[in-house]
Amino acid sequence: MKQRRHVGALASLDGGPLHADVAGLAASLAAGRLDRRSFLRHAAWLGTAIPLGACGKVAPPSNDTLRFVCAIQQIGDPALSAWVEASNLFRNSLEFLTEVDAENIVRPGLAESWRPSDDLKTWVFTLRPGVRWSNGDALEVADIAYNFRRWLAPASKSVNRTAFAAIERFEALDDRRFALHLSRPVCSLAEQLYSATCPILHRDFDRLGGNWPANPIGTGPFRLTRFEVGREARFERREDYWGPAPRLKYIDYIDLGPDVSTHVAALAAGQVDVLYRITIAELDLVRSLPQARLLQHKAAWTLCIRMKVDTKPFDDIRVRRAVQLAADNAQMLQLAYRGMGEVADDHHVAPFQPDFGALPRQGRDVAKARALLAEAGHPDGIDLELTLGNTIGRWEQDTAQILQQNLADAGIRVSLKVLPPTEYWSVWNKVPFGLTSWAHRPLGIMTLDLAYRSGSTWNESGFADPAFDALLDRAMAIVDPHERAPVMAELEARLRDAAVMVQPYWPEKFTAVSPRVRGHELHPSDYFRMDKVWLA
Amino acid sequence: MRVAAWLGRRIGLLLLTMLAVSFLVHLALEVNVDAVAVKVLGQFSTPDQRAAWLRENGYDAPFLLRYLRWLGHFASGDWGRSTYYQEDIVKLILPRLAASALLAGAALLVMVPLSLALGIASGVRAGSLTDRGVSLFAILTTSVPDFAMAAFLTAIFVLGLGWLPGVSTMAGGFSLRELVLPVMVLVLASTGYLARMTRASMIEVMGQPYIRTALLKGASPSRIVFRHALRNALLTPVTVIMLQIPWILSGVIIVEVFFAYRGFGTLLYQAALNSDVYLVEACAMISVVAVVASQLLADIAYAALDPRLRGK
């Protein structure tokens, strides 16, 4: 009953009537098929205003400087940014049309409201009034049009070109409103606009040289005042910011190199306040340090040990199936990550993602793996080379070593080729057999769309299945996660049966901060908002 | 005249070494030009973009021509631009070199007097308790590799006692406290070895007949050590110290990376990790100069210490 009352109190962001599908979601909620958070998430997609939770104690603006350990990567054009770390820098100065909070609920960003049509193919956005760029210009629909144009241009190198392939046309309606016309329904459009590659740039970005750090114009709460790749970056509070003033005066990002134990030493000595991330290897150390507070959370990030389906010997599905069947996902989690996470099922959708479709788990079957190999013409086993780069930690290699032992049981002899982290990214989508780390996405369908749709920029396995693509389109048109789940299950099964990868587990995420740090919310995508952080 | 000829020959050799090294580095890093374009344009660049970039940057020319072009630029002081740091290499490298020179200089400043003192003290009376103690210390510290030493010292002084800073970025300007741990690692890694060398040399000299003569004519022990023995005993340690300079250069890489010290070592490390071709090339040249120049200095110091070599 309490839930029903809650729904009755909802309104849409633009004050108009609620979207037609909200009623259906409410019915699912009332019937208990949907939990409250899931209901709020999906209602938010459709432009429903979601009340903010009660706020804790908030400190007034101070003159404090926060020191954040983070790799300082080349930014150049933020729409091309392949690094979440880089986006965490420009997120202080650049804003997005929408914002996804740590609870995975879409909130208004530069757009104060959005309204999808009933068929989810036309989306009207209204910009927040009074937003000013740091150079004094007002934010206009022309800015937004400019961004969509460069994302979607045929020569665009941005991953946004494929992520928003459904957008056919941008239409400016008046000086504050614009419409996006889609070729097919996409229910999660508002959420996708908060992807790391979607910050809104000033309309003169390309004219000013197309290098953001050189001309760091933004609408955000901080201004970039220093930027040195591989060294440090400094952001300073904008006193003329349109929104609530941030508490910190400065944020100093410091690049301490790739070794996390160095980062922990810096935290222990009080030289820095926030670490970007620690790995399972530093967990015990951080727990024992009084100068460090451990933060830990669950996210849908993972390792994909994927095979390129168009390269020998992986062009034979029996070889890929054999690899998948011989792998012991639970053992990899247990031994390489000390069991801190959830076992996965080789289809890259996490059970805790809201659109997960339940599927009977695929068990390990070494005998069958052997038989398949023999059938594929490798009765004496096969030699494979797995390339990896420890891009997010040594545990990638630990996992690969367990896999190596698992596969040996089936006569698959794997040699590991370990590259330096930076080297791996120049071959990640080229090597026949590679271990790639994938960042969290709020929805399983987003990952599937990015990584497994035929011809998608980030499709590293070369998987191409028109039936899978069609199912993706269908799933994207269904708002109610309860109704979407069966379609998702079908997608997951199709992907798993194609055996393009071993995706062993969903590791937990850890980081450490100084006990003085307040308000640093771990975002599952690692999209940090520093304007709400302060030092006690 | 003879000195000038000798010096000329050494400098000629230095230039030849630089030439050979630069050619090899070029060969290693640039032979696969497509990889260079991937490093610069990123993993999501298209083959067309890469081809265009390669053309614009003169990569369509044959390898040898490209090498000669680079050589010409390098000789005229144009060292190019770092693709990773996005900065002019000369501007990038100079402060880094100064920082590493500071670190290495501080390490030498502590290491040399310390190891000589320890070596002399134990060499004067071989087999004494002091000698045994110094030997134990020397063997212990030399057998721990510097990366392990860095981790041990951090565990003790940063994580355990909390006395010293854990990283040495010198972000807020020069800080002596931040210099302590890196210097300590470098000193501990080399002192033992150097002390052992000094000790051996000292023992040998102390066994010479002229020391016995000095003893018999009634010279005081301090006069014997400082006046008669030391100068001869120093020949070996001086060579070793000079040979340590190139070693410090490589040791510095490990120590700098561990403590996130922004010197030449981290620069070379990042450049290599990110295939920053021109930066690696420039760093290699500087390393060659450092190695050869330190050998040159060793020869000069040797000649100054041993009059017998002067006439030759």
Nearest chain B residue to A259, by CA:
B258
A–B: how many Cβ contacts below 8 A?
88
A79 occurs within a structural domain: no
Q: pLDDT value at position B41?
A: 63
pLDDT for the residue B33? 67
pLDDT surpassing 60 at residue A7? no
pLDDT at B298 over 80: no
> Is the domain of A37 the same as that of A100?
no
Is pLDDT of B38 > 90?
no
B36/A247 Cα distance (integer angstroms) = 43
Residues of B in contact with A418 (CB under 8 A): none
Question: How many Å apart are CA A472 and CA B8, to the nearest integer?
Answer: 74
| Residue B236 and residue B169 in one domain | yes
Q: Is A348 left (phi over 0), alpha (psi -120 to 50) or beta?
A: left
Whole-number pLDDT of residue B311: 52
pLDDT at B247 over 80: no
End-to-end CA distance of chain B: 12
Which of B44, B46, B270 lies closest to A82 in CB terms?
Answer: B44
From B164, B165, B270, residue closest to A230, measured CB to CB = B270
Do strands A274-275 and A65-69 pair parallel, antiparallel, or not at all (unpaired)? parallel
pLDDT for B34: 67
Mean pLDDT for the stretch of residues A315-329: 95
Task: State whether A315 and A380 are in the same domain.
Answer: yes
**B148 and B266 both lie in a single domain:** yes
Domain-embedded: residue A438: yes
Q: Does A292 share its domain with A308?
A: no
Q: Residue B98 and residue B82: Cα distance in Å, rounded?
A: 19
Per residue in A372-405, pLDDT tens? 999 999 999 999 999 999 888 889 999 999 999 9
Domain-embedded: residue B82: no
| CB atoms A266 and B49 under 8 Å | no
Helix (H, G, I), strand (E, B) or coil at B276: coil
Q: Do B260 and A267 touch (CB under 8 A)?
A: no
CA A423 from centre of chain: 22
Mean of the pLDDT values across residues B142-153?
A: 88
Q: Are residues A374 and A500 in the same domain?
A: yes
Mean of the per-residue pLDDT values of chain A: 90
For the cut 50, the answer to whether the pLDDT of residue A2 exceeds it is: no
Indicate the residue among A169, A185, A212 that finishes a domain. A212
- Residue A194: name the closest of A13, A18, A70, A44 by CA: A44
d(CA B206, CA B6): 34
A323 shares a domain with A441: yes
Question: So what's the pLDDT on residue A117?
Answer: 92
Residue B83 lies in a domain: no
**Chain A neighbors of B169, CB-CB under 8 A:** 254, 256, 271
Nearest-Cα distance to chain B for A323, in Å, is 27
Say which range, A153-167, B59-73, B226-240, has the weakest mean pLDDT. B226-240
Per the CB < 8 A criterion, the answer to whether A505 and A279 are in contact is no
- H or E stretch covering A122: strand A122-127
Contact flag A267-B45 (C-beta cutoff 8 Å): no
Check pLDDT > 70 for residue A448. yes
Contact status, residue A511 vs residue A276, Cβ threshold 8 Å: yes
Distances (CA, A) of A337 to A393, A416, B281: 11, 19, 40
Q: Check A157 against B44: CB less than 8 A apart.
A: yes
Given pLDDT bands bounded at 50, 70 and 90, which one contains residue A4? Answer: very low
Does pLDDT of B46 surpass 70?
A: no
* Domain boundary residue, one of B48, B75, B102: B75
Say yes or no: B25 and B171 in one domain: no
Q: Higher model confidence: residue B205 or residue B275?
A: B205
Is residue A56 predicted with pLDDT exceeding 60? no
Q: Is-cis flag, bond preceding A466, omega within 30?
A: no
B164 contacts in chain A (CB < 8 Å): 269
- Residue A501 and residue A416 in one domain: yes
Q: Are residues B60 and B97 both part of a single domain?
A: no
**Structure-block tokens of residue B228:** 């008669």
Of A256, A107, A195, which Cα lies nearest the Cα of A443? A195
A172: helix, strand or coil: strand
Name chain B contacts of A232, Cβ cutoff 8 Å: 171
Cβ-based contacts of B151 with chain A (< 8 Å): 261
- On whether the CB atoms of residues A418 and A389 are closer than 8 A, the answer is yes
Instruction: Identify whether the C-beta of residue A170 lies closer than 8 Å to the C-beta of residue A161.
Output: no
Rounded to whole angstroms, how far apart are CA atoms B74 and A9?
Answer: 71
How far off is chain B from A418, nearest CA to CA, in Å? 13
Residues whose CB is less than 8 angstroms from the CB of residue A84 and which lie 6 or more positions away in sequence, other chains included: A196, A439, A525, A526, A527
* B84 in a structural domain: no
Residue A344 vs residue B28, higher pLDDT: A344
Average pLDDT over residues B107-125: 87
B38 and B180: one domain? no
Residue B91 has pLDDT above 70, yes or no: yes
Residues above pLDDT 70, as percent of chain B: 91
Nearest CB among B43, B45, B169 relative to A428 is that of B43
Residues 6+ apart with CB under 8 A from A157: A80, B44, B45, B46, B49
- Residues from chain A contacting residue B45 (CB–CB below 8 Å): 157
Query: Chain centroid to CA A255: how far?
Result: 22
pLDDT for B126 beyond 90? no
- Residues A468, A383, single domain; the answer is yes
pLDDT value at position A5?
46
Shortest CB distance from A256 goes to which of B49, B164, B169? B169
Query: CB of A275 within 8 A of CB of A285?
Result: no
Q: Which of B86, B162, B164 lies at the smallest CB-CB distance from A74?
A: B86
Does some domain include residue A71? no
Beta pairing class for A341-343 and A412-418: unpaired
Q: From B75, B97, B123, give the residue that closes a domain.
A: B75
Instruction: Determine the average pLDDT of the residues in A33-62.
Output: 79
Tell me which H or E stretch contains B174: none
Interhelix angle B146-154/B176-206, rounded to 10 degrees, is 130
β-bridge mates for residue A12, sequence order: A48
Contact list, A451 vs chain B (CB under 8 Å): none
- In chain A, % of residues over pLDDT 90: 60
pLDDT at A102: 84
CB within 8 Å: A426 and B38: yes
From chain B, the residues in CB contact with A257 under 8 A are 257, 260, 266, 270
Could you give the CA distance from residue B50 to residue B205 in angstroms, rounded to a whole number? 66
Q: By C-alpha distance, which of B285, B286, B283, B259 is closest to B273?
A: B283
Q: Which residues contact A283 (CB under 8 A, 6 or more apart)?
A: A294, A338, A510
Instruction: Answer whether 0.90 is exceeded by the pTM.
Output: no
Which one is predicted more confidently, B309 or B267? B267
- If one counts the domains in chain A, the total is 4
User: How confident is residue B312, by pLDDT bands cut at 50, 70 and 90?
Assistant: very low
CATH code of the domain containing B192: 1.10.3720.10
Dmax (CA) for chain B in angstroms is 87
Does A172 map to a domain?
yes
Residues B139 and B240 in one domain: yes
Q: Rounded to an integer, what distance in angstroms lies between the CA atom of residue A107 and that of residue A41? A: 10
Secondary structure in 3-state letters for A202-233 = CCCCCCCCCCHHHCCCCCCCEEEEEEECCCEE
* Domains identified in chain B, total number: 2
Say if residue A343 is in the same domain as residue A433. yes
Q: Residue A256 and residue B151: Cβ atoms within 8 Å?
A: no
Contact status of A422 with chain B (Cβ, < 8 Å): yes
Q: What is the pLDDT of residue B48?
A: 67
Between CA A187 and CA A70 the distance in angstroms is 34
- Check A262 against B166: CB less than 8 A apart: yes
Looking at residue A93, what is its pLDDT?
96
Same domain, B152 and B42: no
Share of chain B above pLDDT 90, in %: 3
Sequence letter at residue B261? Y
Any B CB within 8 A of A71 CB: no
> pLDDT tens, A507-521?
999 999 999 998 888
Is A217 within a domain?
Answer: no
A82 to chain B, any CB pair closer than 8 A? The answer is yes
Query: For B262, which of A231, A266, A421 is closest by C-beta distance?
Result: A231
| A230 touches B: beta carbon within 8 Å | yes
- pLDDT band for position A82 (50/70/90)? low
Q: Does A215 touch chain B (CB under 8 A)?
A: no
Question: B303 and chain A: CB distance < 8 Å anywhere?
Answer: no
Both B105 and B175 in one domain: the answer is: yes
pLDDT over threshold 50, residue A3: no
- Does the CB of B33 have a partner CB in chain A at under 8 Å? no
> At residue A54, does pLDDT exceed 70?
no
Mean pLDDT over the full length of chain B: 82
What domain range is B195 assigned to?
Answer: 89-310
Cβ distance of A157 and B159 shorter than 8 Å: no
**CATH number of the domain enclosing A150:** 3.90.76.10
Spatial contact of B79 and B280, defined as CB atoms under 8 Å apart: no
Q: Is residue A273 part of a domain?
A: yes
Q: Does residue A45 sit in the same domain as residue A189?
A: no
Q: Which DSSP string do the residues of A363-389 spell out, in sequence order? A: PP-HHHHHHHHHHTT-TT-EEEEEEE-
d(CA A115, CA A46) in angstroms, rounded, equals 6
pLDDT at A225: 95
Q: Does A421 touch chain B (CB under 8 A)?
A: yes
- A420 touching B (Cβ < 8 Å): yes
In a domain, A74, yes or no: no
**Chain B residues closer than 8 Å to A264 by CB:** 159, 166
Among A187, A212, A237, the domain boundary falls at A212
Q: Is residue B80 part of a domain?
A: no
- Residue that finishes a domain, picked among B28, B50, B75: B75
Neighbours of A158 (CB within 10 A): 22
Rounded CA-CA distance B91/B79 in Å is 10
Interface membership of A174 toward B (CB under 8 Å): no
- Same domain assignment for residues A318 and A426: yes
In a domain, A58, yes or no: no
Residues of B in contact with A425 (CB under 8 A): 43
Asked if B162 reaches chain A (Cβ–Cβ under 8 Å), the answer is yes
Q: Residue A142: give the domain boundaries.
A: 94-212
Of A304-318, A417-431, B228-242, the one with minimum mean pLDDT is B228-242
**At residue A150, does pLDDT exceed 90?**
yes
pLDDT of residue A251: 96
Q: Are residues A466 and A523 in the same domain?
A: no
Interface test with B, best of A251, A262, A391 (most B CBs within 10 A): A262
Smallest Cβ–Cβ distance between B86 and the set A229, A265, A267 belongs to A229
Same domain? For A107 and A154 the reply is yes
pLDDT score of B51: 76
Please list every residue in chain A whose beta carbon sits closer than 8 Å to the beta carbon of residue B262.
231
Report pLDDT for A417: 94
Pairing of strands A341-343, A65-69: unpaired
CB A79, CB A96: distance < 8 Å: no
- A423 contacts in chain B (CB < 8 Å): 273, 275
- Which pLDDT does position B40 carry in this prediction? 62
Measured between beta carbons, the chain A residues lying within 8 angstroms of B158 are 265, 268-269
B45 at the A interface (CB within 8 A)? Answer: yes
Same structural domain, B108 and B27: no
